[in-house]
């Protein structure tokens, strides 16, 4: 997870927010709302990655209400409350569902830097009790994500280690490669090995 910058509120959402008075109920109002613009803006702001687990988003995405909309109808169309997440079983919005905990970090509002440690075997560790709990609540340690992270981070680590005696080649590799997903873990692995 890394800090995200929220773009300007989409016009469609702004209009819906101004006119919505709680009728019909949140669930129905949200269902009827044309979410294309919101989805597009969030996807661009998140570089095509899930805001929570940083997996590359497929065509199947979910606009998550960070704080569930059933808590207050005003949260339904609140731009600051919307986050684009993956829609796969066992993690992220699929896992958090309609729950809410005050220690959760919304990466659009709070910089989660230093909260999570990623390892090349795909594992993730929280650096505080809150971070540990958040990993569990969001399923960030689910086998599917650990496997995907390992696939990328292990290869990255092996490549860096094989180039350690060739500084120019290593530099060229690190400059040319960009994390297609898991940028936080990717940067951590590079920094840990190269001592950056
Ligand atoms: Zn996710």
- What pLDDT, in 10s, does the model give residues 83-130? 999 988 899 999 998 999 999 999 999 999 999 999 999 999 999 999
Give the distance (Å) from ligand 1 centre to CA of residue 178. Answer: 19
Q: How far is the CA of 99 from the centre of ligand 1 (A)?
A: 16
Q: Do 7 and 41 meet the contact criterion of CB atoms below 8 Å apart? A: yes
Please report which residue ranges of the chain form alpha helices under DSSP H: 11-19, 26-32, 36-45, 92-96, 129-138, 143-162, 167-176, 183-194
* Exposure string for 16-51, b = 16+ CB within 10 A, e = fewer: beeebeeeeebeebbeebebeebbebbeebbbebbb
Separation CA 132–CA 72 (nearest Å): 28
The whole-number pLDDT of residue 129 equals 98
For ion ligand 1, residues whose CB falls within 5 Å: 50, 52-53, 86, 92
The model scores a pTM over 0.75: yes
Report CA(86)–ligand 1 centroid distance (Å).
4
User: What does the alpha-carbon distance between residue 115 and residue 82 come to, in Å, rounded to a whole number?
Assistant: 21
Separation of CA 163 and ligand 1 centre (Å): 32
Distances in Å between the alpha carbon of 135 and those of 53, 54, 87, 92? 10, 13, 17, 9
Q: What is the pLDDT of residues 137-186, one digit of tens each?
A: 999 999 999 999 999 999 999 999 999 999 999 999 998 877 789 999 99
What's the confidence (pLDDT) of residue 160? 94
Q: What is the mean pLDDT of residues 46-58?
A: 95
Residues 6+ apart with CB under 8 A from 146: 121, 122, 123, 124
| Cα 148 to Cα 49: distance, rounded to the nearest angstrom | 14
Look up residue 41 and give its two tokens. Answer: 């803006």
The pLDDT assigned to 179 comes to 74
CA of 25 to the centre of ligand 1 (A): 27
Q: Judge whether 112 and 1 are in contact, CB under 8 Å.
A: yes
The alpha carbon of 12 and the centre of ligand 1 are apart by a number of angstroms equal to: 25
Q: How far does residue 61's CA lie from ligand 1's centre (Å)?
A: 9
User: For residue 85, what pLDDT is reported?
Assistant: 96
Average pLDDT for residues 6-12, to the nearest whole number?
Answer: 95
pLDDT of residue 80: 96
> From the CA of 91, how far away is ligand 1's center (Å)?
6
């Amino acid at each position: 997870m890394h800090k995200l910058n929220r773009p300007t509120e989409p016009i469609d959402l702004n209009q819906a927010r101004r006119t919505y008075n709680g009728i019909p109920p949140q669930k129905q109002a949200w269902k009827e709302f044309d979410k294309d613009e919101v989805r597009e803006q969030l996807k661009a702001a998140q570089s095509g990655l899930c805001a929570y687990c940083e997996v590359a988003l497929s065509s199947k995405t979910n606009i998550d209400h960070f704080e569930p909309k059933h808590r207050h109808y005003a949260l339904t169309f609140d731009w600051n409350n919307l986050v684009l997440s993956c829609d796969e079983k066992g993690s992220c919005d699929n896992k958090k569902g309609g729950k809410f905990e005050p220690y959760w970090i919304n990466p659009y509002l709070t910089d989660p830097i230093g909260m999570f440690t990623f390892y090349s075997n795909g594992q993730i560790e929280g650096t505080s009790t809150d971070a540990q709990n958040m990993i569990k609540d969001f399923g960030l340690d689910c086998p599917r994500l650990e496997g995907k992270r390992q696939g990328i981070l292990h290869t990255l680590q092996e490549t860096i280690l094989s180039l350690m005696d060739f500084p120019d080649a290593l530099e060229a590799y690190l400059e040319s490669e960009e994390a297609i997903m898991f940028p936080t873990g990717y940067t951590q692995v590079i920094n840990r090995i190269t001592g950056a």
